[in-house]
Structure formats: structure tokens, C-alpha cells
Amino acid sequence: MYRLLIVDDEAFIVDGLANFFTEYEGLELEIYTAYSADEALEWLRRTQIDIVLSDIRMPGMSGFELQQQIMQLWPLCKVIFLTGFNDFQYVQTALRQASVDYILKTEENETIVQAVKKAVLSLESQFEMERLLQEARSQRQTAMPLLQKEFLIDLLQGEVREPALAQHIYELQLPVDAGLPVLLLLGRIDDWDKRNQRADQSLLLYAVQNISNEYLSPASRLICVTYDRSRLAWLIQPSGDADWERTVRYVTGMMEKIQMACRSFLKLTVSLLVAQSPVPWQQCAEKFQTLQSLFYMDYGMRHELLLREGALGPKSQQQIANVTGRLTLNKLSLLETYLETGQKEQFHSLFSQLLKLVPAAGDESAGVRMQFYYMVIAIYFSRLNRLESLAEFATRFDSARLTRLEDYRSWDEAMESLLSIAGFLFDQKQDQLAEREQEIVNIIKMYIEKNMSGDLSLTRIGEVVGFNPSYLSRLYKQLTGEGLSEYIVEVRLAKAKELLQQQHPKVQDISEALGFDSATYFGRFFRKLTNMTPTEYRETFIRRE
């Protein structure tokens, strides 16, 4: 649907053309009207307009001056000049300013229709490529933080191949060099569970990143990613003329400063673990697995850990090697993403894949199983807190039992419980989405019913509910099965019948109450839908009574 703005200082021309195009079935247009250039500018500053049908000679501001304003606001908008002056100079000016057409007011409506159709065709061909490119640019920029995070998580999972690495780093505007190795630093917030009643946890994670950046950036270039609700990873390179020895020494020295700042300013205890030396990009995933496993092995219960990888003994190194090859724990962040976004099938597929990585037997089996179970439980409770569904959750699940893996009769029973909770969370998300969507529909319907004589344009209704008009139109049809314009017609017709069944309101008053520009237009509207004039309908109803 395209938006057509009709501008003229003669009201009968504006109203006549508005009524004509509203009833014209060959074009999908949303009609806006303005009785001066200033009023037209109000609409243009309020919403995007596709086509402007404007008089040239108007008091205050001419059509050409208006077009200059239009081009500044909406460069892709098409302007059709409608004038009573058959002067070649106007034609030349219109063509120089890239107007679509120049039409005399004395010409037939069909000529105007053809000019608007020509503008629509021009817009369609112009928008197709421009729209796709602009949407891609806009969406990419808006989604840049998410794209960066997805890339870094894929990198740490070993899913980024060397040939594409440099291109990804460049396109995602990451402040690192694809030609240099990287030093990995991992962080863990130790007392997250004790802080779950505090304000936004994502804000606290962001604050931890800011603190680390403040301490580390003077001597290094770095990027940071949160890979679950309490863990962070930094990829660090030397800056300026610094060499790797100085960089590693500097990062190791700053770890204590970061830890103290988090404790002092954020009231958080943080553990930090740095790799012994930098590794090539293609070895990041392996090194990440090695470092991450430390947080679940001998040192897993300690708080405010400050450790360099080289300090580990042979026994710990062997334990890490055993577990790293069995379980890709950082994929749990993707599991959480599927849960957050309601991707049920993808969630179950990944869950099954991860289960296959959990060892079935062996000395390390119990520890890895416990690790997997409690990490999934942590994801669940994080989601429950955001959904505010703990009360309903407590009626269906034993919360205390969930924190004790040993209470299950078997591993299979524990996994069945995890899947059952996932089903509950997916159902909750779907219910909440349905409630929000129904609330939007209710707000729209209430606004329409209370503003029958007012502004019922998609632009205005979009402002009421906070949606782009085009998206609002699509969303409403998806939710209700009918177009928003069709619903407005239904409500107006129902209200018209209700008022006509009474003897007292005049047809002119009913017309104004329902937002029609004139009783004549209201009459055409009513007759088209009922095959009767308003007066005939009233008389028929009264006779029946």
C-alpha cells in the first residue's frame, strides 16, 4: 500500500479527489489530505509519504517550494503537479525538478489516475533494489552487536573457518587484526545467584566489560563477549608498538585491578583466568575449551580466582584434556538463544546433540553430568525470572528438587525433567506473546470505536500502538485474519446502521460523526455496501418496527 497526499488550497478539489481515490479499486492507496502547503508539511514531517498530488499556485508556499521541502524529507517521494495554468514554463520547471507528471485541473479523473499509476510503477521499480539494500544496511547496523556476539561465539566454538576470518572481522568492525594471534582471558561472576534480586544483570555484565576495557585498553586492543549469563571472554592483542611479552605481563598485572574494581564498585566477586600465551585464531576454540574447563574442575568452587594457565599441575591438565574432548559447553549459549527466541525444534535438536557429548561412563562421567545439568538449570531459572512465571512454575515443578541432581532415580529421569521444564517455558512464551498481541488488537479496536469522527489513518493508529504503519497493517491481518481497513469499514457500517435505526440524527450529522467529508460521500459508501441509501435503510427499518 502506498500513501498519497493530496494538497490544494481549494477544499472541494481535495475532498473530491480524496473521495474518488478512496473508492477507486484499481490502486491500494492510503489517502491523506492537506488544504495548504504548511498542512502538507505537517503530514510529511509526521510520516513517510510516497506520492504527493499538489497544486502549484497556493498562498504562502508554491507547489515547487513545497517539492523542495519534500525532497529534503523524503527524497524518493514522487510529486505530481496539478494546476489550472497551462503554461509551458511550469511544465519545464516540473520536469527539471523530477516530478512524475504535470496535469491540468480540467483533465478527466482517469488522466490523474494514470499519473498516479505511473508514479506507483516508478516507485516499485525504484524501491525494489533500494529498499532491499537499505533494509540490509539498516538491519545489519542495528543488529551489529548481536552479529558480533554470534561471530565471537561461533569462533570460540570452532565454527569459523580461516579463509572467512579476515572478512568477518572487517565487516563486523571489530578492533582487532586477523593477521595476529590473540590472547584469551576468561571471566566468571562468582556470586550471580546471590545477586538475582538485583537490577538488570545484563547491565552489570556491561559494567564489568567497561571496567575491564578501562584497565586493559591502554596497552592492548580487545573485544569481549558474554557467552552465558555469568561468563565473559576477552580476545586481546598488543596495541601500538607493544610486544607480546609486555602485553601478557600487562594483562596479568591488571587482572587484580579489574577484580578489585568489580568488588568495590559493583559489589560483585569475579574470577579471572588468562591463557599462558597467545594462540592463532584457528586455535581459539581449543584454547577456549581448555580455559573454560578450569572453571568446572579443581578450581570450580573457589571464588575470586586469579590464575594463569601455566600454573596448572599435570593432573589438572589431564582432567581438562579428558573433558574438553567430550563436551562443548559453550554451545549452551546457543541453547539459551533458542529458548529465548521460542525456537522449539532447534532447542530440542541441540539438546539431543549435547546429550550425546555427555560421557556415559568413566571416572569423569559424574562431574560432567552434574556440570551439564546445573548449567541448563541456570539457563532455565534465568528465563523464569524474566518471564515472571515462578508462581505458576512452582505449582508444576518441585523447585527444591531441581537443585539436587542426586534426588533423581536415574540420569534419564533428570533429562526428562529438563525437557519438561523446557516445554513449560516454550508454552509460557507463546502465551505471553498471544496476550501481548491480543492487547494490541484490543487497543486498536478501542481507538477506532472511540474516534470514528477523527483520524483513522494507519499513521495515526500506528502512533497509538507504537508500530510502523506498514508493519501494523500486516500484523493486524496476521492476528485477526482481516485487514485493518476492512475492519474500519465494518465498524463504520455497523455504527451507521445503529444511528440510522434512530429517527432523530440527521444523515448529515451521522456522516460527520463517522468521519466522512460529506453526506454525499457517506451516501455512496453506504449504498455500495448495502444497496440502499441511508434514507432508504432508515425508512425500511422503521416500517419493520
pLDDT of 235: 96
30 and 133: one domain?
A: yes
* Closest among 461, 494, 528 to 30, alpha carbons compared: 461
Amino acid identity of residue 173, one-letter, is Q
Strand 231-238 relative to strand 183-189, pairing = antiparallel
Q: Would you state the cell numbers that stand for residue 178, as one nine-digit string?
A: 586477523
Q: How many domains does the chain have?
A: 4
Task: Supply the range of the domain harboring residue 400.
Answer: 326-437
pLDDT of 423: 93
Task: Please indicate, yes or no, if residue 443 is contained in any of the structural domains.
Answer: no
> Cα(243)–Cα(74) distance, rounded to whole angstroms?
52
Paired residues of 189 in beta bridges: 270
Measured CA distances, 70 to 129, 240, 295, 311 (Å): 22, 48, 60, 68
Q: Which of 437, 463, 497 represents a domain boundary (last residue)?
A: 437
190 and 289: one domain?
A: yes
The arrangement of strands across the sheet holding 51-55 comes to 29-34, 2-7, 51-55, 78-83, 101-104
pLDDT of 237: 95
* Closest among 211, 184, 408, 414 to 285, alpha carbons compared: 184
- pLDDT tens per residue, range 380-390: 887 777 666 67
176 and 249: one domain?
A: yes
Strand 220-228 relative to strand 183-189, pairing = unpaired
160 and 264: one domain?
A: yes
330 and 308: one domain?
A: no
Average pLDDT for consecutive 10-residue bins of the chain (545 residues)? Answer: 91 88 86 93 92 90 89 89 68 59 81 90 72 65 81 85 83 90 92 56 87 91 86 92 87 92 90 91 85 63 76 49 47 78 85 76 65 86 72 81 87 92 89 84 92 88 84 86 90 92 88 88 90 90 74
- pLDDT tens per residue, range 261-283: 999 988 888 989 999 899 999 88
105 and 150: one domain?
A: no
Paired residues of 32 in beta bridges: 5
pLDDT of 321: 45
In the block, cell 531441581 appears at 402
> Cα(240)–Cα(220) distance, rounded to whole angstroms?
8
Task: Please indicate, yes or no, if residue 320 is contained in any of the structural domains.
Answer: no
149 and 298: one domain?
A: yes
Question: What is the distance, to the nearest Å, from the Cα of residue 489 to the centroid of all Cα atoms in its chain?
Answer: 31
pTM over 0.75: no
Task: Please indicate, yes or no, if residue 368 is contained in any of the structural domains.
Answer: yes
